[in-house]
Amino acid sequence: MVRRAAQWNSAAGVWAKGLLERRPARLVTVALANKMARIAWAMMTRKEVYHAKGRVAAVAAVAA
């Protein structure tokens, strides 16, 4: 996933690209996995459905 960060059109892609400029790819991979795990844990404990925020949500709203 980190190798394709430049192609992502999302907030996570922007975050990963910015982190890749400052840190090695292996560290960014672990950071991304940690971020995704925290999101999944929060969703499971709160019994919520994921709702994208930021540019992805805006693009989806315009497309719909």
Which pair of tokens denotes residue 6? 């430049």
> Using one digit for the tens of pLDDT, what is the confidence trace for 8-64?
777 778 888 888 899 998 999 999 899 889 989 988 999 888 776 765 555 555 555
Domain ranges, residue 30: 2-63
Q: How many domains does the chain have?
A: 1
For CA atoms 46, 49, 52, 57, the dihedral sign is negative
List Cα–Cα distances, 22 to 9, 12, 27, 54, 61, in angstroms.
20, 16, 10, 23, 33
The reported pTM is: 0.65
